[in-house]
Structure 1
Amino acid sequence: MDAFRAKIRGTVILAPLTRGGNLPFRRLCADFGAQVTVSEMAYARYLTQRRPELALLVKAPNEACFGVQIATNNIEEGAAAGLLAMNAGASFLDLNCGCPIFEATRRGLGSALLRKPSKLSRLVAGIAEGVPLPFSVKIRSGLKEDEPNAKEVVKVLQEAGAAMITLHPRSQQQRYSKAADWDLVAEIAHDPATTVPIIGNGDVLCHWEAERHILKRGVSAVMVGRGALIKPWLFKECLDGKEWFPSPEERVEVYHRLSLYMKEHFGVDAKGKKKAFYFLPWHFSFLARWRPTKRELFEDHPYPLLQDGRHVEAVLTESEGPLSQLPPLERLLRVIHDDAHLAISEALWDSETAEEAVAALTALAEARAAEWEAAERDGSKDARAPAQYKSEGWG
């Protein structure tokens, strides 16, 4: 327990991400310095039934501290799933008590577990006793915005044997619609009654935000989800203590590496490509949202940048000029359009080298970037605004 807590202290942790937490993406994040990673949420019942869910237990070779997140409300199923995770090489087990989506809550899982803290305490104690791995729990602030019960939940969880607690300070009701309440995280982290490491999660896009939460708010570590999906090199920025503003060519190199990892993991045949393309084009709905958020331009903004894209775009238009003045490849990589994301993914998949990928995407940008930009502005049914992705079921 002590060794585990020492390992996670001061780190930036990759959150469990529905769809986004696939092995190739976690491997990419680890390349950029992610020291602690967590699997996509797995239903414990499906794991014990040896369903395809077992694939979620496989870790990349460079994942130094890999946690498996499970969803369950049953001690026996949770413990059995934990043993499977341990045998697969997991460093710790995590219980999802934060997922707000109906698919989970209707089964009494995810954030629905916050309804009865005493029952949750028995669940955690039972699983912790049955699995010789550090057992962490990820929670939300409560079910309703005006009825937070995170303090009570933290108290019973630490008494039940939780190794650490990650707090996503939004309610089930809020989902992702409002800014994360980091004051609540700090209040719990500084409470003398809190005896376990508190990990804060929510609205972290830039390294200085992570620094602020660790140094000024006193959390043990920071967990990032959407921020990592937008820029997988966020971990490098946090380790280096400075921003990295990759050119469009450098970003293509990163994205090409992700496609190579998907080929290696899923296979290069038609079946493997079909599996990979469930993920790869989808990733560009986030990667396309990257912007050079320079510290001197944005650090003093009172609202989280992840929640205020309009402000980011307004500031950058003033400093960079209008989008039409940027190089074609830069413009292509910023397009929010399903057809563009599929075409980018096809070009990456077909390119043997990063240089080939840059050439292919540059040609694609010159031919079609303006067309997709126009479709995005006109609200084409195939053009998706970033705001639509705020309701995804990230654990």
Structure 2
Amino acid sequence: FGSQHLTPDGRNIVNEELYAKFKLTEPSRNSLNKALQHSLRKRIYNFSRTEATISKYDKMKKEAAANPKKENEKKKEAAANPKKESAEEGNNCEVDGQVMTCGAVTDEDIVSIRKDEKKKVDWKGKLYLSPLTTVGNLPFRRICKKFGADVTCGEMAMANCILSGSLQEWALIKRHESEDLFGVQLCGNNPYAMTRAAQLIEDVAEVDFIDVNLGCPIDFVYNQGCGAGLLRREKVLRSVITCMSDTVNIPVTVKTRTGVHTDRNIAHSLMPKFRDWGASLVTVHGRSREQRYTKLPDWDYIEQCAQLASPCPVFGNGDILSFEDYEQAFVDSPSITGVMIGRGALIKPWIFTEIKERRNWDISSSERFDILKLYVNNGLEHWGSDTKGVENTRRFLLEWLSFLHRYIPVGLLEYPPQKLNQRPPYYRGRDDLETLMASSSCADWVKISEMLLGPVPDNFVFLPKHKANSWK
């Protein structure tokens, strides 16, 4: 079999005609090539835009610190007497006779575009798939796009790892051709790394927006001052968002929690600042870092944040598992622009179809199994069909099954719809496959993976990475 795919010297046979067609419509983009990786590792990549922005920001900060009273007076004068340029002054332009006048003359390299000239995204009413670490990979996002997700975002990527040319981190920003509105989420603890990473991604990747992670509750990330840890460092947070927004020409968005501690919400005090610093969208998860995923999200507080951030669009996030939850979110928080869906999409990726069609879909076990087949095909296409590719596909399939088994069929519910914060009871499905899919045992998840990817190796053990329960 192998000889049919190899040349006499042991290399893969390439059909040049088919390969040329594939390169024209490559299914996934934003790959890291060797030349770029070399320039990053040797630190010879041109970050002049970032350096100019940061030096300008540092200079303004030093001047403000040296003369705080003078700075306040300048702001008051500028607000009271806006400068109006006369027509005569505007026409006094010196012309150099040696300047070529043929063709369009652009000045992006000299004059940065204004905030109101930046590319804008219409966020109104969009269904936004949350950037989900580990499980929000490209094969899963393809399934969510198939079921009606409007906005997708890559998994959280660490800015320092992006700048070091890490292949594992660059794999997180790959984009499929079906993702028509796609962003990358960056996580970092200083403006230098975050702004450089943002410029790099804008230069070499195809993305529509860049998201700043202010909500990751993981201890390893938080203790470094990243994720939710940035909420404690307002000056650094300001420099991160301001410098990123001033450097890149695509929208910069923010995803945050209500605060770090359960009894001290601080997001409301930051919302007007996010708007003034240049954020194009703010997403608020209605829980604190300490709460993780326990307790109910505070949608009344999300409404307060949305009002304070106006006219900047605000998305709400937290416990959306049905179209009733989606509609109730707009009742509780009428000022929000849209809703972000995270664990609800992991438990039932068809939730986007339910919301758009305003119905509870009593999906059968065979239809759910077809979704798993589609995921496996997407995974083998993305990670490869060799031994390593099958291992990766199996691993991420099992991670997804650790969420997918929590789904309770609509036909078995006494009081539909299912709620995300309710512990699912033990039940017997309407057929054996439905019962197997409802099992919370890792061994049963492995059985399902064997139905799709063949037997596992000897002594194979799987333990889920995430324990994002809504109960203790």
TM-score above 0.5: yes
- 1:307 paired to 2:421: yes
**Equivalent in the alignment of 1:213:** 329
| Residue aligning to 1:139 | 256
**5+ residue gaps in structure 1?**
314-321, 352-380
Distance 1:117 1:194 in 2: 20
Contact 2:422 2:470 (8 Å CA) reproduced: no
**What SS class does the counterpart of residue 139 from structure 1 fall into?**
strand
Deviation at 1:152, TM superposition (A): 0.9
Shift of 1:6: 5.3
1:41 alignment partner in structure 2: 156
Q: Which whole-Å CA distance do the structure 2 matches of 1:214 and 1:272 have between them?
A: 42
Give aligned pairs, total: 347
CA shift, 1:293, in A, is 4.2
Q: Does 1:242 align with 2:362?
A: no
Match of 1:112, SS state, is: helix
RMSD: 2.6
Within 5 Å, which residues of 2 pair with 1:162-177?
162-177=279-294
Q: Secondary structure at the match of 1:265?
A: helix
Tell me which moved more, 281-290 or 78-87: 78-87
Distance 2:330 2:120 in 1: 15
Instruction: Say if 1:29 and 1:235, in contact at 8 Å, map to a contact too.
Output: yes
CA distance in 1, matches of 2:153, 2:341: 11
Greater RCO structure (CA 8 Å; 6+ sep): 1
SS in 2 for 1:279: helix
Are 1:332 and 2:436 counterparts? yes
Runs of 4+ displaced beyond 4 Å = 1-6, 293-296, 381-384
Query: Which residue in 2 is equivalent to 1:11?
Result: 126
| Residue identity matched to 1:31 | K
The alignment partner of 1:70 has SS state of: strand
Deviation for aligned residue 1:277:
2.1
Q: How far apart, CA to CA, are the structure 2 residues paired with 1:236 and 1:272?
A: 30
- Tell me the distance in 2 between the aligned counterparts of 1:119 and 1:229: 33
Higher radius of gyration, 1 or 2: 2
The match for 1:50 among 165, 169, 194 is 165
Q: Is the 8 A contact 1:117 1:152 kept in 2?
A: no
* Structure 2 unpaired stretches of 5+: 1-114, 456-460
User: What per-residue deviation string (whole Å, max 9, x for no partner) do you get for residues 185-215 of structure 1?
Assistant: 0122234x63211111111111121122135
Structure with more helix by fraction: 1
Residue 30 of structure 1 corresponds to 145
Cα 1:230–1:127 change in 2 (3 A) is same
Shift of 1:84: 3.3
The residue that corresponds to 1:389 in the other structure is: 468
CA contact (8 A) 1:12 1:210 kept: no
Which residue pairs with 2:303 in the alignment? 186
Q: Deviations over 1:215-249 (max 9, x none)?
A: 55221111111100001111111111212121111
Q: Which residue number corresponds to residue 79 of structure 2?
A: none
Q: Following the alignment from structure 1 to structure 2, what is the Cα–Cα distance between the partners of residues 216 and 234?
A: 20
- Report the Cα offset of residue 148 of structure 1: 0.6
| Residue pair 1:118, 1:156 contacting (<8 A) in 2 also | no
With over 3 angstroms needed to count, the CA separation of the structure-2 counterparts of 1:204 and 1:212, relative to structure 1, is same
Q: SS of 1:144's equivalent?
A: coil
In 2, Cα distance between the equivalents of 1:169 and 1:324? 34
Match of 2:313 in 1: 197
Any idea what the Cα deviations from partners look like across 1:292-351, whole Å, max 9, x if unmatched?
34799346xxxx8111125xx4xxxxxxxx834631111011111111111211212259
CA contact (8 A) 2:155 2:185 kept: yes
**TM-score, structure 1 normalization:** 0.82
CA distance in 1 between partners of 2:314 and 2:262 (Å): 20
Query: Per-residue displacement from partner, 1:74-127 (whole Å, max 9, x unpaired)?
Result: 223212222333332111000000001111011110001111324312210011
